[in-house]
Amino acid sequence: MVRIHLGCQLTYDFPQNTAMIVMLNVHYSRVAQLERPDHLITNPPVPIESYRDGFGNWCCRLVAPAGRFVLGTDSVIRDDGLPDPVALDAVQHAVQDLPPDTLLFLLPSRYCETDTLSAEAWRLFGKAPTGWGRVQAICDFVHGHIKFGYEHSRPTRTAAEAYAEGRGVCRDYAHLAVAFCRAMNIPARYCTGYISDIGQPPPYAEMDFAAWMEVYLGGRWHVFDPRNNQPRIGRILIATGRDAADVPLTHTFGANNLAGFRVWTAPVGE
């Protein structure tokens, strides 16, 4: 068991009062491991209305005042300290045998143009073994095909564009892998959250939120991470959706300037 200190702080400058939807709280599936609630805290304080979206993610709705506005979370979570589980025998289900609530994650979405990439997916992975092996083949390909770099970040890049350009950030890796999986009739959903550096050799990059995917095999959802392409310790989920359009950390209904951004996740005591 490991105790992980996690949280974030985002600093904005707003020219006028601006409505926001914020998705920064730990996913309900991990809330029981929190040692204290990771309430959204703002400065200056404002009224916050919370609700669950259609995917079950916890969302906070507020109106940020004009001027400097700071928001964030902070908590400690208990983690089993184990790497992401690997289930090499997890089988791929026939579409007609899939549970109804997984079918949405077979369809094209804003950033995952499954229809556009279908023929290419079958060309690349049609001969790969079904189930876990096929998803791993997709992750291996995406991991090697995309060159990572924050200088390559573009919030409007789609999976097809990431494939054509061969560069991006973790959300682009996830979008492309999700699109390829769906094209191969494997339900896949986009995930956002924290990934710690526990078990990784230094030096460590500056901490940021991360994106990965979950795929439905063998009767349950499994984590795959095409960006890192290896099991990691201390992966803490915030939200899941069809793609990044469903799970933005903040959705701001007006002009703004992000003046500061900090994320932390580390074993307690470090």
Q: Which residues of the chain have pLDDT under 70?
A: 270
* pTM assigned to the model: 0.96
Topology adopted by domain 2-81+249-267: Immunoglobulin-like (2.60.40)
Residue-range domain boundaries for the chain: 2-81+249-267, 95-243
pLDDT, tens digit (0-9, with 9 covering 90-100), for 95-118:
999 999 999 999 999 999 999 999
Which residues lie below 8 Å from residue 184, measured CB to CB, with a gap of 6+?
A: 121, 122, 125, 126, 134, 138
pLDDT, tens digit (0-9, with 9 covering 90-100), for 188-213:
999 999 999 999 988 888 889 999 99
Q: Residue 26's closest CA among 244, 242, 239? A: 239
Residue given tokens 């300037």 in the structure block: 257
CA distance 58 to 49: 11
Which residues lie below 8 Å from residue 202, measured CB to CB, with a gap of 6+?
A: none
Q: CB count, 10 Å around CB of 65?
A: 14
> What pLDDT was estimated at residue 269?
77
CA distance 62 to 45: 10
- 110 residue type, one letter: R
Q: Residue 267's closest CA among 195, 193, 196? A: 196
Topology adopted by domain 95-243: C8orf32 fold (3.10.620)
Q: What's the length of the chain?
A: 270
Q: Does 2-81+249-267 match 95-243 in CATH topology?
A: no
Pairing of strands 2-14, 210-217: unpaired
CB distance 108 to 158 below 8 Å: no
CA distance 73 to 123: 44
